[in-house]
Amino acid sequence: MDSEIYSFALRNTLNEIQKLCPDITNAFIFNEDGEVISRDENTPEKTIVEAIDTVDSVLEKAEAMGNIEGIVLEGSKGRMNISCIDTFYFITVTSRKADMRYVNTVTRVLVPTIIRLLDKINPTPLKGNPSAVGEEPEAPTIRLEEETVEDPVEPTEHEETSKSQLETETKPILPEPPVSQFIVENIGGLLVPSDTVRIDNAVLTQWKDLYQNRKIEEAEIETFGGKSTHVKIKPIKDSKNEGKGIIQMPDKIQFSLDIRKGELVRVKPIVE
């Protein structure tokens, strides 16, 4: 299942939600980069752009607070509800007279369930897809053209030897990635991506000094039970937690590694 069908399924879900809850005037989903994943058929692009600008300004102010599960903005004509589902933001706009208990029951159960079901079928991350927002997916057209294939020219023994020597000389020898041990701590909230962990900034600095001019944006986490995974890394924000040898980890990563708060894990950088 490709991303177009994924987005198309979400759009149908949003349309069904509006049928169940007529008080919902607009509903759409976007990712951390501001790309619209899906929207209901009644919401124009202008409304979405204005809403995302509003949401961005609110999230910037709320980031310092941390551990926020949802935000409700109230205006003179209605309410905007912001909730986080893994790496997506789900936005609904309702009238002020809406029964929010009923709205929340539908939106907080139906949409997360559909997204996680689709993730199991198609784990590839979604990107914004304009055709999936306003149009139904079309089958791709495949054109076959005749090409003239020439017989490959076999390299001589001298050419192969020179190429091998050149690759050996130009390819730098990198030191073995250092392995650090950390104690798992929980981290959650509206602004916390489910694929990212936070570790001590001093460790990140040591890695950058060891691998100068190399990007280090990911790391490999390995448990003492033998399970491992690749994750994105960021420094710990709270200075009170620096130097304590902890790794702040979302529930989703803990579940995939079958570990919990207080357990010890090994972490090493992934050098690009």
Q: Are 56 and 118 within one domain?
A: yes
In this structure, is residue 163 part of a structural domain?
no
Residues 17 and 116 in one domain: yes
pLDDT at 13: 82
**Residue 195 is assigned to a structural domain of this protein:** yes
Distance, in Å, from the CA atom of 23 to the CA atom of 25, rounded to the nearest integer, reads 6
Q: Who has greater pLDDT, 18 or 260?
A: 260
72 and 9 share one domain: yes
Q: Which of 6, 17, 12 is nearest to 91 (CA)?
A: 17
253 lies in some domain: yes
Mean pLDDT of the chain, nearest integer: 76
pLDDT (mean) for 158-182: 68
Total number of domains constituting the chain? 2
**Boundary of a domain, candidates 76, 107, 134:** 134
What average pLDDT score do residues 193-203 get? 88
Which CATH number does the domain housing residue 204 bear? 2.40.40.20
* pLDDT-derived band at 242, boundaries 50, 70, 90: confident
Residues 218 and 95 in one domain: no
Q: Residue 33 is part of which domain span? A: 3-134
Within-domain flag for 160: no
Q: Distance between alpha carbon 241 and the CA centroid of its chain, in Å? A: 25
Q: Which of 134, 149, 166 lies at the terminal end of a domain, its last residue?
A: 134
- Per-residue tokens: 40: 């209901």
- Asked whether residue 12 falls in the same domain as residue 117, the answer is yes
Measured at the alpha carbon of residue 103, what is the angle toward residues 79 and 90, in degrees to the nearest 5?
Answer: 65
Residue 109 Ramachandran class (φ > 0 left, ψ -120 to 50 alpha, else beta):
alpha
Q: Are residues 130 and 190 in the same domain?
A: no
Residue 220 has pLDDT above 90, yes or no: yes
Closest CA to 63 of 184, 152, 190: 190
Is the pLDDT score of 190 beyond 70? no
pLDDT of 137 > 60? The answer is no
Q: How far is CA 11 from CA 5, 66, 107, 130, in A?
A: 10, 30, 13, 12
**Does residue 259 fall inside a structural domain?**
yes
Of 8-12, 89-93, 148-152, which gets the smallest average pLDDT?
148-152
**What does residue 47 show for φ and ψ, rounded to 5 degrees?**
-65, -40
Return the CATH number at 46. Answer: 3.30.450.30
Residues 37 and 122 reside in one and the same domain = yes
Nearest of 115, 138, 107, 117 to residue 37 by alpha carbon = 115
With vertex at residue 244, the alpha carbon angle to CA 240 and CA 246, rounded to the nearest 5 degrees, is 105
pLDDT at 227 over 80: yes
Same domain, 103 and 187: no
Q: Taking 80 as the threshold, does the pLDDT of residue 21 lie above it?
A: yes
Which range has the top average pLDDT, 33-42, 58-67, 170-179? 33-42
Q: Does 186 share its domain with 130?
A: no
Residue 53 lies in a domain: yes
